[in-house]
């Protein structure tokens, strides 16, 4: 492997990370950063490894670098929000999320902001940001059904002039439902794919049978056609040979007649010469 190939080190780190070999993965990502110090994905993966290993402060430092080099990395904001809410540090993440949303609206960032306001008990802001998240659902990777359920819940609360209590522990959304939906979609896609395969097999069998029938018909036609041609050719050859024989015989007869005339002429001339000599 080329030691200066950052993509080789990065994808090797992915393989290590997916296999649970986080120490080897971290070393690969650090080599990527040595080659390209602004490669944000390497910082994010290092943050993820640090968070998994319980190094929360190390994860935050890597996330800050991720956002510094790529301010549109929503995954970095999502993980940063989770860490800050678990630590109860809301001021820092509020400032970070508002700064990002001032640049570009994003469904995931609106939902993160909504969860922060729910955490500190500000119902109106919680409601407004949930509404914005739903309005930007094309950039929303959180389960849409979960977001809508929360929206209806807080809407009902506000309609009754009720308030929400600040959370002492962050209430994370349940991702199992999303996973089940994804797996069911994969199963449906596999079933459709298998049905398509069976249809293609049936179609190929039918086409093969049709092709064989066409081959049989073509072969029969070719045999008949070749036999007819052969018979016609035979007749033509016989006619040609007869004509040639007749021509040859005619030409030979003509030749023989010419020879006979020539010999007769010669013979008569010789007789005349002999008579002249006798007279002399």
To which residue do tokens 């998240």 refer? 133
Distance (Å, rounded) from C-alpha 246 to C-alpha 241? 9
Mean of pLDDT over the chain? 74
Distance (Å, rounded) from C-alpha 173 to C-alpha 141? 12
pLDDT at 172: 52
State the angle between helix axes of 56-69 and 40-52 in degrees (0 to 180), rounded to the nearest 10. Answer: 160
Rounded alpha-carbon distances, angstroms, from residue 238 to 51, 158, 174, 228, 242: 99, 110, 95, 15, 6
Using alpha carbons, select from 53, 66, 56 the residue that is nearest to residue 20.
Answer: 53
pLDDT at 78: 96
pLDDT at 6: 85
pLDDT at 70: 95
Contact 93, 64 (CB under 8 A): no
Residue-wise pLDDT tens for the chain (280 aa)?
A: 777 888 999 999 999 999 999 999 999 999 999 999 999 999 999 999 999 999 999 999 999 999 999 999 999 999 999 999 999 989 999 999 999 999 999 999 999 999 999 999 999 999 999 999 999 999 999 999 999 999 999 999 888 877 777 765 555 544 333 333 333 333 443 444 444 444 444 444 544 555 455 555 554 544 544 444 444 445 454 455 455 445 544 444 554 454 445 445 544 444 444 444 444 3
State the angle between helix axes of 107-120 and 123-135 in degrees (0 to 180), rounded to the nearest 10. Answer: 170
Q: Please name the residues in contact with 51: beta carbons below 8 A apart, sequence gap of 6 or more.
A: 59, 79, 83
Query: Is the overall model pTM greater than 0.75, yes or no?
Result: no
Contact 47, 59 (CB under 8 A): yes
Write the DSSP string, 146-186. HHHHHHHHHHHHHHTT---PPPSS--PPP-HHHHHHHHHHH
Distance (Å, rounded) from C-alpha 191 to C-alpha 97? 42
């Amino acid at each position: 492997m080329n030691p200066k190939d950052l993509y080789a080190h990065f994808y090797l780190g992915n393989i290590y990370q997916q296999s649970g070999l986080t120490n080897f993965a971290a070393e690969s990502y650090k080599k990527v950063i040595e080659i390209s110090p602004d490669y944000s994905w390497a910082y994010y993966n290092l943050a993820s490894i640090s968070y998994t290993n319980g190094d929360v402060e190390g994860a935050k430092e890597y996330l800050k670098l991720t956002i510094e080099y790529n301010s549109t990395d929503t995954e970095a904001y999502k993980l940063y929000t989770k860490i800050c809410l678990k630590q109860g540090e809301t001021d820092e993440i509020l400032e970070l999320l508002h700064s990002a949303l001032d640049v570009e609206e994003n469904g995931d960032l609106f939902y993160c902001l909504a969860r922060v306001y729910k955490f500190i008990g500000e119902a109106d802001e919680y409601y407004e940001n949930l509404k914005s998240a739903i309005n930007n659902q094309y950039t929303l990777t959180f389960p849409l059904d979960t977001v809508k359920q929360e929206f209806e819940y807080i809407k009902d609360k506000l309609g009754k002039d009720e308030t929400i209590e600040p959370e002492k522990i962050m209430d994370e959304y349940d991702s199992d439902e999303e996973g089940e939906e994804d797996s069911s979609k994969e199963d449906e896609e596999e079933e459709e794919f298998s049905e398509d395969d069976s249809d293609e097999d049936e179609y190929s069998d039918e086409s093969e049978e049709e092709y064989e029938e066409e081959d049989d018909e073509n072969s029969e036609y070719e045999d008949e056609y070749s036999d007819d041609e052969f018979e016609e050719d035979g007749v033509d050859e016989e006619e040609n040979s007869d004509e040639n024989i007749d021509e040859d015989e005619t030409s030979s007869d003509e030749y023989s007649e010419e020879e006979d005339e020539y010999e007769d002429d010669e013979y008569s001339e010789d007789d005349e010469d002999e008579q002249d000599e006798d007279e002399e």
